[in-house]
Amino acid sequence: MPKLAMQTAEGVTLELDLAGAGSRFAAGLIDGMLILTITLGFLVLAILLGGVDVTGFSNFVLGLVGMGNILFLVAYNVVFPIVWDGQTPGKRVMGLRIVSAEGHPATRMQMLVRGLLWIVDVLVLVPISIGVLLIAVTEKRQRLGDIVAGTLVAREAPLGVASEPWPRESWTGLVQRHLALGPAVLEQLDGEDLAFLREVITRRGIEEFKRRPLLRRVAKHYLDRLGLEQAADPRTVLKELYLFLREQRGVLQQPSAGS
């Protein structure tokens, strides 16, 4: 399986398992079957309506179904990744997820841009679809939408790899809070951010002189992204943000056996 090794400014190497053409094709096939089923359902409904309609309105509905197919396809590839933290149904089945090219969780804007360019990746043939061609020849297995949006598709890490930090603590139970966290902040974060923060916080085998600047960099990334005031201690920032996100999403990952 192809891997992408990313060297941070602190000298720490983060690895992502890039999704290959086979797994992405399988995910696309699952999505395609689901899309086809929904589209055929609307088409059959319009035809059945035409059998009993004497006003001609069913012809208008049938025309809308035909014209709306492309819009539906684009919406499918935009809405699902945004709502499902970088996954479509096909990607979820295959254990794949859209992330930023830097390894951070992809933003909603990145997934929007990527989804809008799906139609170009699929329908532009040279002689095969440009999306398939680019996935095959680019180092990071990116289609055009990935390149423009600054994203890539990676395989999810197995569950239970990282132990759960602070399992008996909660954000509401903190004696002192340093960040102004609330619904507006929660809308900008998702399950992928939770997984990324867990990975950074629980990462082992990093020398302390490398861990400190890494935590500082990640804390700054989220403070800038969320428009929050800078805090002095990055560990405090990441702990508070992690506990808040875990509590609001109602997620508590149990440590794997033997950990």
User: 18-31, pLDDT tens digit by residue?
Assistant: 887 788 888 989 99
Please tell me the predicted confidence (pLDDT) of residue 157: 59
Spans of the chain, pLDDT less than 70: 1-15, 46, 49-69, 157-163, 204-209, 232, 251-259
CA angle 125, 29, 83 (to 5 degrees): 100
Beta strands in 29-109 (DSSP E): 96-100
Give pTM, 2 decimals: 0.60
pLDDT digits (tens, 9 = 90+) for 37-48: 887 877 777 677
Which phi-psi region, left, alpha or beta, contains residue 205 (left: φ > 0; alpha: ψ -120 to 50)? left
Please tell me the predicted confidence (pLDDT) of residue 156: 75
* Cα 167 versus chain centre, distance: 25
H or E element: which one contains 112? Answer: helix 108-116
- Measured distance between the N- and C-terminal CA atoms of the chain, rounded to whole angstroms: 27
Please tell me the predicted confidence (pLDDT) of residue 161: 44
> Per-residue b/e over 36-68, b at no fewer than 16 CB within 10 Å?
eeebeebeeebeeeeeeeeeeebeebbeebeee
Burial label, 253 (beta-carbon count in 10 A; 0-12, 13-18, 19+): middle
Taking all residues of the chain, what is their mean pLDDT, rounded to a whole number?
A: 79
Please tell me the predicted confidence (pLDDT) of residue 149: 93
Please tell me the predicted confidence (pLDDT) of residue 50: 62
